[in-house]
Amino acid sequence: MAKQIGEDTKVTLDLKTIGMIVTFVITITGMYFALQSDIARAMELPEPEISKVEYELKDELIRNTIMDTQEDVEEIKETIKKIDERLYEMTR
């Protein structure tokens, strides 16, 4: 039979269980307030500035990477042309 919860239902908790519940609630509350203080502190901090030198170095790195990639693509195209010519010669 299914038990029904009502006014006559008795719930018994021992001290160990009550202690665990209280500890859990205190821990969660402490973590919540610590998180709130971290968020408030982070909102007050200044945004990091990107210096001109850092920007120029990153820009140069990106441009060099693009040029290297372009050279690699050109080499791959030449290789594909050679393979295509050899394949054409073999099929004749």
Query: CB-based contacts of 3: which residues, under 8 Å, 6+ apart?
Result: 9
**Which pLDDT belongs to residue 1?**
62
CB atoms within 10 A of CB 49: 7
Residue 91 sits in the same domain as residue 53: yes
**Which pLDDT belongs to residue 67?**
92
Instruction: Answer yes or no: is 85 within a domain.
Output: yes
Residue identified by tokens 């990153």 is 58
- For residue 22, is pLDDT > 70? yes
**Which pLDDT belongs to residue 76?**
95
Within a 13 Å sphere around the CA of 30, how many CA atoms are in the beta-carbon half? Answer: 6
Residue 25 sits in the same domain as residue 63: no
Residue 60 sits in the same domain as residue 89: yes
pLDDT tens track for 52-71: 899 999 999 999 999 999 99
Cα separation, 4 vs 72, whole angstroms? 75
Highest averaged pLDDT of the listed ranges 29-33, 38-42, 46-50, 71-75: 29-33
- The number of domains in the chain is 2
| pLDDT averaged over every residue in the chain | 90
Cα separation, 38 vs 32, whole angstroms? 10
Coil, strand or helix: which one is 8?
coil
Instruction: Answer yes or no: is 1 within a domain.
Output: no
Query: CB-based contacts of 9: which residues, under 8 Å, 6+ apart?
Result: 3
